[in-house]
Homo-oligomer: A and B are copies of this chain.
């Protein structure tokens, strides 16, 4: 799965020159940010603005047509009304661009007339050997080259291991803004597909499989080309984890998808079985998608589904045990762990089926974290640890205590790299955010609820056990 030395699709991520057709001076128009972003981000390639209505756009010369540009153009980004798109595509064919991203909507997703327009565009592009992304997409993002075609404001791009394939503009827009501002990981590529009239999910998947920066691939799709996609996914999932949010699970959702990107519904149970076969981790929601992606970026797949709950609070421990069991995880403490911990407790206390840190803390103070984590992580009967963190410390000492906990957890993770550790912190907002910041800074995923911790561990364990079965068959 080495990156092909050269792919036709490279032009969508690292063009040497790009023209924004429909570039605008008006920040309320969709044509504004595709140009502004490239200027703001310091994209190193050549940038051209095309709009016959203006002399200049955002301080640049505005060309009447792409064919008026004196140099070659690799990629054209088109933001003009749907009925104007065919003539712009013909211009692009004449200009011999390599790729086109079409933002405009009003095609297949809006009935027969739109479908005819879309077919016309595709014919023109194919005849000229041009690859086409969209229509009805915000296109691509590639932080490594400070490049994006999106119409969402994008002041800063953070490089990282996660790539998206998405059949909605959300991922090239608001979703990555959310990630950049609230997560510790960055993005390798976003491949927005829209109506997929040419480049589709299978080709995108193949491209990202060969991209050395991409470690985890998350997909939002409203439809897939069945056999072809699943065969590719089965191949790719052996090397890189694949997460899929497929909308249209319900009849109503299917109808909604049809009006969004012209996608057709398939029976969800059949689709689900195909995902399992192909090693795809299926999720229901953006949150689940990011929860799982974060775990896969930061942690190994666990060897199995045995979880030890370690909790600073009794109530939190009970809820965590319950949540793990409901999610099909095996939860409890081994005889060895009980025997290690029992002598360290005050006389009145006894070890239950989760590790309650409070009595331990009464006896051994801050050593508690080291002892507790060492005991459960060194335990051969433990695959995952769910740590419920409540900070009972004098207010002004919280950063110090958190720093200490971070060091301890981080050291133990390095010592036991095969084990998965996830954390749920509870307290006031500032402390919760500080905990998230510190712990995710050293690769320990933090989730905002016990339920989500348990769900993530369960998803990881199911994938791990599923893959094991697949490879032994």
Binding site for B on A (CB under 8 A): 27-28, 32, 82-83, 105-106, 110-111, 113-114, 151-153, 155, 166-171, 173-175, 177-178, 180-182, 220, 222, 245, 247-253, 255-261, 284-288, 309, 313-319, 321-326, 331-332, 346, 348-350, 352-354, 356, 358-359, 390-395, 397, 426-432, 448-452
Contact = CB atoms under 8 A, between A and B. Distances in A.
Contacts of A83: 348
B325 A178 contact: no
Contact of A222 (B151, B180, B318, B427): B318
Contacts of A390: 170, 173-174
A257 B311 CA distance: 13
Contacts of A358: 105
Contacts of A248: 318, 322
A307 to B, nearest CB: 10
A315 B252 contact: no
A113 B113 CA distance: 81
A426 B256 contact: no
Contacts of A110: 348-350
A427 B174 contact: yes
B313 A168 contact: yes
Nearest to A452: B287
Contact of A322 (B32, B250, B314): B250
Given A152-B392, A314-B168, A316-B170, A259 B322 contact: no
12 contacts: A82-B348, A105-B348, A173-B390, A175-B426, A181-B429, A245-B319, A247-B315, A252-B325, A255-B321, A256-B322, A259-B350, A287-B452
Contact of A259 (B173, B245, B326, B353): B353
Contact of A323 (B178, B284, B348): B284
A247 B178 contact: no
Contacts of A174: 313, 390-391, 426-428
B352 A255 contact: yes
Given A181-B430, A315-B166, A426-B170, A353 B322 contact: no
B167 A250 contact: no
Nearest to A168: B315
Interface centre among A171, A248, A428, A430 (most CB of B within 10 A): A428
A194 to B, nearest CB: 10
A178 B428 contact: yes
A358 B259 CA distance: 13
Contacts of A284: 323, 326, 451
Given A114-B348, A322-B248, A451-B287, A28 B169 contact: no
Contacts of A394: 27-28, 32, 153
A423 to B, nearest CB: 14
Given A319-B245, A352-B256, A392 B151 contact: yes
A153 B391 CA distance: 10
Contacts of A397: 27
Contacts of A181: 428-430
A106 B345 CA distance: 11
B451 A285 contact: yes
A389 B244 CA distance: 23
A269 to B, nearest CB: 14
Given A288-B451, A325-B252, A326-B250, A315 B350 contact: no
